[in-house]
Structure 1
Amino acid sequence: MSWSVCNKMRVEIYSCLVALVLGCSVTAEIIRKVIEKKESFTLPCPHPEGWTVTWSRENNGQKVPILSVIGDRDERHICFPYKRYSSLADKSLYIFKADPSDSGRYYCNDELAAEVLVIPIGTSRLTVKERSNVTLMCPPGVGRPDVSTWSRGFGSKSITVSQSEEGEESRFQASANGSMLTITDVQLDDSGLYSCDGEPAVYLTVIE
């Protein structure tokens, strides 16, 4: 085999190795979890290398450490009843019997790992396709007799969906008394927990 052919093969192999390394360095996609209250769940650490891994949760825009995994032992930074926060062998974070206060963004070694929303037990879930139309209803016994207010939230995001002014175009249209909310031309970003007068009504998932 000639030197030029061997050299070409080396270049091709080197290029493949570089591509593989670059591919491995791509940031992992953020996990989004919707968990019912009292469910237990696990959050994997994107890069669990190292002797110590520290998990934290975003609170009012600041990351608050909750648990460090040091070798094969856990060091808790916040006191939780029944040790609800613990780690697994791969340094994943295990949360026992989720509470609404567990909602938020979770970081592993300051790297955003997941966004969690804990919803009440029995909350309705609805999945619709992008670009379709959907109508949501207030839960039975919820809503004022005049005009109800709708809001949507997921983790750190929260918006108020109000009725449109006359002549104003909007994809969100509430009924006269606000007991129903119609969303037209649904977008992927419309996914989230919709509440009527502060009470969870339905968790909407929009798929392509």
Structure 2
Amino acid sequence: MWSYFKPLLFFLMIPLTSSATATGTVRRVSVPEEHRLYLACSGTVDLQWRHQVNRIIVTKQGQSVAYMNQQKYDLRPDGSLVIKELETSDSGNYHCNDQLVADVEVLKGKNFEVSAGRALLLPCTVSSKAKQRWYFRKDSHVKREPISTLLKNGTIKMEKKDPQKRFSYDEDGALQILNLQPGDSGEYLCNGEKVAKVTVLTDHLNIQSTTALMQTDVVGRENRETRPINVVMIIAVIGLCIVVLLAGLLCNLLKGRLRKRIKKCSTVTGHKQEGTELQTRCLSNLGSEITQSDGEESPSHVEDTEVQYASLGRQNWRERSRVQGDQHQVIYSTVVSARPAFQGLERITH
């Protein structure tokens, strides 16, 4: 029976699969203002970049590219988007071909408060040297510790133990810290100059540990709006699956009962035929004895035509007259019931 329901359940699971894919890889990144940000997208032929829900910033169809503001945005051949000179108004969700790609937070000033689990970019704006050496310290009273050095040729020399590889550099040479932890709170220096003081907020520790490209739930207004619809769809599909399974179980139960009844009827019919033959022989002997005794006790009944019945089982007889010449006929009939108990022998004379 299960083989009949497999295709149906597979079909019913399609909405669940489609709703599960509504959550994908989202880059949750915090960047200081006036820095550049690179956002990747897999589309290379036809694509559309949107900021928030309805703000279309770039559209590409074949070789034709249309910008909302070309001085602000740049579209690369691989489909990635470059946002120049970040401002606080650039914060929000960015979509590529209706898929949420990034949750961007633009930071202002030099004292940053960033939620745990996000990625943080720190450009070395305090030094014009091509070589960058980054340091970290908890506060100004603690000795600084080297993090890494970015050489002129792009080589990175790590000086801090980093088993999870959370520290790296972006395309513009900004220090990138992935999956911020409370221990990352402190001051960051580039070439000995303070770049920023970072405070990692611990009220978001329930967010999964991620990298710059992390697995997380889709955030944003449009996803919050569609979430109740997805929940209702999931509940409806689960309810339909339960109904289908219950219907299958009910069908099996009814089929089982029907088989038992058919088998029982067949068994009772066989016993009935066997019982009828035995009772017929038994009652024939008893009938002859009863007839003889009646003839001695009440001879008046012998002169009249009479039909006698003897029955086993339930008392459900009908009078019948059957005369052959001058002979008296005694007819014994049996009624076989489902109860095996012998209910007695009776005699009726009309």
| TM-score range for the pair, normalised by the shorter chain length | 0.3 to 0.5
Instruction: Report the TM-score when normalising by structure 1.
Output: 0.43
Structure number with higher relative contact order (C-alpha < 8 Å, ≥ 6 residues apart): 1
After TM superposition, the score normalised by the length of structure 2 is 0.27
Q: Which one has the bigger strand percentage?
A: 1
Instruction: Kindly name which structure, 1 or 2, has the bigger radius of gyration based on alpha carbons.
Output: 2
